């Protein structure tokens, strides 16, 4: 092993195996992330200090019902996003594997689009303010992102470029070279830091009273943090670098940064509303 490299911890990707049934850390991360995000959204809507006293808002029951819609958006959007953004030629030749989510392959950007579609449909069905629902999802999303990136690390996937930094890790699937633990970088940036920033903005500046502001800041923040992490991460082998340092992850993040910035600026310019 190269000097100063950290050996990869011996963590079995399968948490529990009972005959043909296998419970994987990756699946558990999705379940825990969704459940904790749901509980956090419930807590936010019940916190009267964050809302305008005369404003309407989703109820806790609305959030309870929405979690099913969101879960479907995450799973279906994440899978189809990976299929079409990252490996379309392979799945066009092997269409039976498109729904084989247990084999791996999920895209955050696809999951993001899936949740946006779920929010559009649910807010229309329940007659809720779309931007407020987007804000609630935005402040809770980093919870799921954190657990998802930790699961990527456990699976020894999406590792980083070779490096000689003291915290480099030798991944069992990454050859003998020590590499950036880019999954942990993303867990820290997209998960912990983004959560803390959005929580501070929500509590300190009452941005839930300006519908769309937190959603826009989430999209912009995620896009920036993901692009930073991509500089240390090895792109998928079948895609590689699109041009120079440009990866598919950065390319898909650019529209999020621009759209998020535009939405945040628009929302912040609006007076606090009584119909959020």
CA terminus-to-terminus distance, the chain: 57
Residue with tokens 């959560």: 195
Check the annotation: does 199 bind a ligand.
no
- 3-class SS shares of the chain: helix, strand, coil, % to 5: 60, 5, 30
Element (H, E) at 170: strand 169-170
- Select from 240, 263, 266 the least CA-distant residue to 251: 240
Residue/partner pairs of 124-130 with CB below 8 Å, 24 or more apart: 126/58, 126/62, 126/65, 128/58, 128/62, 129/56, 129/57, 129/211, 129/275, 129/276
Q: What residue numbers does the annotated binding site cover?
A: 149
């Amino acid at each position: 092993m190269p000097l100063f490299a950290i050996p990869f911890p011996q963590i079995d990707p399968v948490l529990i195996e009972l005959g043909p049934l296998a419970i994987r850390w990756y699946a558990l991360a999705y379940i825990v992330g969704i459940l904790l995000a749901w509980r956090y959204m419930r807590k936010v809507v019940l916190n009267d200090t964050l809302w305008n006293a005369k404003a309407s808002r989703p109820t806790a029951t609305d959030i309870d019902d929405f979690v099913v819609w969101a879960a479907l958006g995450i799973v279906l959007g994440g899978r189809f996003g990976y299929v079409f953004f990252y490996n379309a030629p392979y799945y066009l030749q092997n269409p039976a594997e498109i729904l084989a989510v247990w084999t791996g392959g999920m895209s955050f950007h696809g999951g993001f689009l899936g949740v946006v579609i779920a929010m559009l449909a649910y807010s229309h069905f329940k007659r809720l303010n779309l931007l407020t629902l987007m804000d609630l999802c935005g402040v809770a999303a980093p919870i799921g992102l954190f657990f998802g990136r930790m699961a990527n690390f456990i699976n020894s996937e999406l590792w980083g470029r070779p490096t000689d930094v003291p915290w480099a890790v030798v991944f069992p699937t990454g050859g003998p070279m020590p590499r950036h633990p880019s999954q942990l970088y993303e867990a820290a940036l997209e998960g912990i830091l983004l959560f803390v920033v959005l929580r501070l903005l929500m509590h300190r500046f009452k941005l839930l009273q300006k519908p769309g502001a937190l959603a826009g800041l989430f999209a912009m923040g995620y896009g920036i943090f993901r692009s930073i992490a991509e500089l240390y991460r090895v792109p998928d082998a079948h895609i590689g670098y699109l041009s120079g340092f440009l990866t598919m992850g950065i390319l898909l993040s650019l529209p999020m940064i621009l759209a998020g910035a535009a939405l945040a600026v628009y929302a912040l310019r609006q007076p606090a509303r009584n119909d959020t």
